[in-house]
Amino acid sequence: MILDAIEKRQSIRAYKDEPIKEAELREVLEAGRMAPSGCNKQPWKFVVVQDRVMIGKLVHAIGGQEFVGKAAALVVACKDGTGYHIGKRYDGGVIDITIALDHMTLQAASIGIGTCWLGMYDGEEVEQLLGIPAQNPVVAILAMGYPEGEPGRKPRRKAFDDVVCWEKFTT
């Protein structure tokens, strides 16, 4: 069942002109809230933007990607709490937030809401528009909405044997 949602999910960049039902939006956010995090720090804050004027303003800050202006909602994920590292190398907060947003994309897919992960944005501009403090930098943004039309084919993935090796790293 989870694999069904994983297979079903693909980036959706065309949305119906229709707000997301509040109960469904809350379910999607709940999937993020329940995500795991290092030491259960839950170092996130999710700013949900549905205001059409604000979404319009954010298009410029999100790389001028026009389809973003048609999204029913944007989830702007910010770091919250003290930073920490995983294995000295990785920013724990970024990893945790990434997991939480992925949970959201899968829950959304399972109830017929399309999402698109947005990595191309000007953090300072987004932060300024939404009043996000400097200590809560934006880590990722999700666009969401009911899909308009049929999405194209999901981009293919590398073959299983090209990405999985057993016991030792093999090329």
Ligand X SMILES: Cc1cc2nc3c(=O)[nH]c(=O)nc-3n(C[C@H](O)[C@H](O)[C@H](O)COP(=O)(O)O)c2cc1C
Residues 61-90 that bind ligand X (CB under 6 A): 63, 65
- Residue the block writes with tokens 């897919």: 109
Stretch that binds ligand X, among 17-25, 26-34, 87-95, 113-121 (CB under 6 A): 113-121
For the purposes of burial, counting CB atoms within 10 Å of the CB of 89, is it exposed (0-12), middle (13-18) or buried (19 or more)? exposed
The interface mask with ligand X, positions 141-170, x = CB under 6 A, is: -------------xx---------------
CB of 147 to ligand X, least distance (A): 12
- Look at strands 73-79 and 85-86 and give their pairing: unpaired
Contact 48, 74 (CB under 8 A): yes
- Residue the block writes with tokens 């999901």: 154
Q: 113 is written with which tokens?
A: 């809401």
Cβ nearer to ligand X, comparing 6 with 54: 6
Cβ nearer to ligand X, comparing 106 with 118: 118
Closest CA relative to residue 26, chosen from 73, 63, 64: 73
Residue 8 as a binder of ligand X (CB under 6 A): the answer is no
Residue 50 as a binder of ligand X (CB under 6 A): the answer is no
- Residue the block writes with tokens 């049929």: 150
Residue 103 main-chain phi, psi, to 5 deg: -55, -45
Among 2, 22, 119, 134, binds ligand X (CB under 6 A): 119
CB of 115 to ligand X, least distance (A): 9
Binding site for ligand X (CB under 6 A): 10-11, 13, 63, 65, 116-120, 154-155
